[in-house]
Amino acid sequence: GVVYSYDQEGVHRAGSGWEQCISVPLVQPDMAELLQQWDELLEEFSLEEAWLPHRYEEQQHNCYTFALAFVNRVRRGRGREPLSKAQFTERFLIPHTTEASRYLTLHQELAHRDVYIVPLPEQEQDS
């Protein structure tokens, strides 16, 4: 997909260069209709005056602010209360970064040992 980011140069849209990032799923399975609108809502949001380059401020109005403001816009549209930075971090970011950290630690341990990983045979699918 396309990754939106915000910095001192404004909003950026990139289809590559984010391969090392962590994807945090925000849309629940019961929100299928929201997935269809997501790209359009994000594009409209990214064009707002709040995200012009001169508005960027490293500590208070940054890429994290951009992401959280968009999530809260979507939440309000669905009749939900907005999340604070602390709530968003605790509910969505910490669980995924903790999981990624565990994976990276395991990967580094295996990379520094004489380990051979054998792929599991493909299971036959019932017809």
For residue 19, what pLDDT is reported?
87
Q: Is the pLDDT of residue 67 over 80?
A: yes
- Angle (CA) 74-3-81 rounded to 5° is 15
Quick check: 34 and 27 in contact, CB under 8 A?
A: yes
Model pLDDT for residues 108-123, shown as the tens digit of each residue: 888 888 877 788 887 6
17: alpha, beta or left? (left if phi > 0; alpha if psi -120 to 50) = left
Share of the chain above pLDDT 70, in %: 95
75-85 confidence digits (pLDDT tens): 999 899 999 99
Do 6 and 66 contact (CB within 8 A), yes or no? yes
Q: So where are the chain's domains?
A: 3-109
User: What's the pTM?
Assistant: 0.78
